[in-house]
Amino acid sequence: MATQSPFSMMEAILQNFNLPLTPPAWAIDEAHRRIVLLLNHVLMQEPQAMERLARQKGRVVLMQWRTFTFRLLVTPAGLFDVAEPESQADLVLVITQESPLAIAQELMQGGKPSVRIEGDVQLAAEVSWLTDHVRWDMEEDLARLLGDAPAHALVQAARTLAQGVQQFVGQRGRNDSGAVA
């Protein structure tokens, strides 16, 4: 007998209340700027990624999920900047999965959420290459702050935790599909 996940019950409750979960404009703008800083930090560790992006300078990528939008401008240096809200997007990436829990589950299982792609094919290919080949070396950044051994231990602990969560999510996905536990 399959049981309902507490996460799906919580999601159903939140959807029934229709609460306005839109943060203030200043918080959204600040979050966008912080995300751009992180993206650029990761890109600066990969010269090939910056070189590929530099060929797309001046192009705008619009990412959208539900009512949330995020516009990125590709700079001549091969990095990102926050694009103006009224700027025309050359590439539109829309996450089609509505449920944040389903997106998290997909990511934890090593997959990618479903995305509808519209616009410039070459820019889409470069963004796809970035998502497939560029990774944040968190251990290296932590080592600069904490030292090599503590950073390694912390990252190993995080990996162990992530593996446990992936196994749990994988089991939940099999149990929710009707398999008997």
Please check whether residues 33 and 72 belong to one and the same domain: yes
Please check whether residues 118 and 141 belong to one and the same domain: no
Domain count for the chain: 2
Note whether residue 1 is domain-resident.
Answer: no
Chain centre to alpha carbon of residue 51 = 22
Identity of the amino acid at 83: A
pLDDT, one tens digit per residue, over 2-45 is: 555 555 665 666 566 555 567 888 998 999 999 999 999 999 99
Q: What is the pTM of this model?
A: 0.69
Please check whether residues 29 and 85 belong to one and the same domain: yes
Assign residue 58 a region (left: φ > 0; alpha: ψ between -120 and 50; beta: otherwise): left
Per the structure, the complete domain to which residue 149 belongs is given by 137-181
Please check whether residues 130 and 76 belong to one and the same domain: yes
pLDDT, one tens digit per residue, over 59-105 is: 999 999 988 899 999 999 999 999 999 999 999 999 998 888 788 77
Please check whether residues 101 and 152 belong to one and the same domain: no
Query: How far is the C-alpha of 69 from the C-alpha of 84, rounded, in Å?
Result: 12
